[in-house]
Amino acid sequence: MVNLVIQALTLISGLVVNFVIPGLYGLDAYGEFIKANVLVFLFQKLLDIINEQLLASVAAEHILVTSLFMAGLIFLLFSGLSLLTDLGDPLLLSVMLLSSACLLSLFGLRLYRWIIGYLILFLSVFFAALFISYQKIWPLSIVHILCLTNLIPCLFALATLFTHGAKLPFGRQLGSTLWQVITLLPRMISITLFFNLFTNILPYILSKILPVRELGLFRVIVSIIQSATSLFPINVRAVFVSFISGGQRQEQYRIIMSIALFYFALVGLFGYFVSWIFPKYAGYLALLPCLPVLYWAVVTERYLIASGNHRRVIATNIILGSVAVVCMIFFVQGLEAAKVFYALGFSAYLLTLHLLCRPGIRLPVIFWVAMLSPLSITFANISLLWGILYMCSLLIIAIWTLRLRPADFRKLRF
């Protein structure tokens, strides 16, 4: 139940930031904000994904200090590059890096009830800042609102962490921990390359060619799909921790994947129903078929890492990432092309990861899920029926092919 509450609050936190701000300030203002600070999100996401690997390599009580050290390195890199060109607001980056480090350490120490408090405080500060700005009590820009929304919960989190187990390593232990982080850094960056390309580099390239309104729209569309890891009731970090602990890892993978396929098929069908009732929102749900693909890719990546197959994940990221960069530069020239490219990228990533690990799910199933996703997005311009048929096929696969049963829900150890 606690994990479910965390997932719900995490999802709400992400959605209100990515929908309420564009709704109040408008897509044009939001697009300008994204254009000015897209690289801030790149560096923040880099730390967020890199630091997650610390759950498997650093003692829980040392995660906070270690992740703050990583945040310091990334901020120094950002500051150095900022001397050459404007990369965005450094204050916004600093509070977002701090937020990422604090939240990861709360997960590492398994302070789940305190995570709930953190997320409630996050939402409270966000809406309070919006109210103050909207009532013109104190005019706040989007940057100011996000800084306050991240900073105040971080102060609460730091106080909680240092009174509930977070420790500073001393002497030789400190040097050993920091050296371990430095040696792990190239591997961590390589593992996160593909997701960073599609999460932040693609919007950065689009910021050079798209009008700010379309850029803001693309960011909102992508935010919906990236919320897949929060939309599912079980937190990905909890899944990762379970994989690391070992014991029936392959069976846990099969169960979580069958449930995820069933769940996201229902979410997709609900999304298409909303598009039918409210056609003006259809454009925001254009990438719905990406939901199960992205979630499967994330969990498969964690499965490989937990199994010790770091080199396979790194090779996949480097090879597919290099191809993706070339395609981004030469072939993505508009909003429609960007949406199809986004879907194709994650389909290719999922297929490649499965070819490398073969975790017990037959390959034809993966081909069906991955390859029909971009096709459904392409044909959705003609009729929503294609997307609906795709989601219905996922329900059939989950129940008949993957043999999802009610008992599987009781077997989950998250």
Rounded to 10 deg, the angle between the 310-331 and 335-357 helix axes is 160
Q: Are 198 and 342 in contact (CB under 8 A)?
A: yes
Encode pLDDT of 368-386 as tens digits: 999 999 888 888 777 788 8
CB 379 within 8 A of CB 354: no
DSSP state of 198: I
| pLDDT computed for residue 56 by the predictor | 63
Least confident of 88-92, 145-149, 234-238, 275-279: 234-238
Question: Average pLDDT of the chain?
Answer: 82
Range in 54-58, 110-114, 373-377 the model is least confident about:
54-58
Residue 308 DSSP one-character state: T
Q: pLDDT digit string (tens) for 117-166? A: 999 999 999 999 988 887 778 888 888 999 999 999 999 999 888 888 77
Do 28 and 213 contact (CB within 8 A), yes or no? yes
pLDDT digits (tens, 9 = 90+) for 160-207: 888 887 776 655 666 666 666 666 667 767 777 888 788 777 887 887
**pLDDT, position 411:** 63
Domain edges within the chain: 2-183, 204-411
Entry pTM:
0.76
For the ranges 54-68, 120-134, 271-285, 342-356, which has the lowest average pLDDT?
A: 54-68
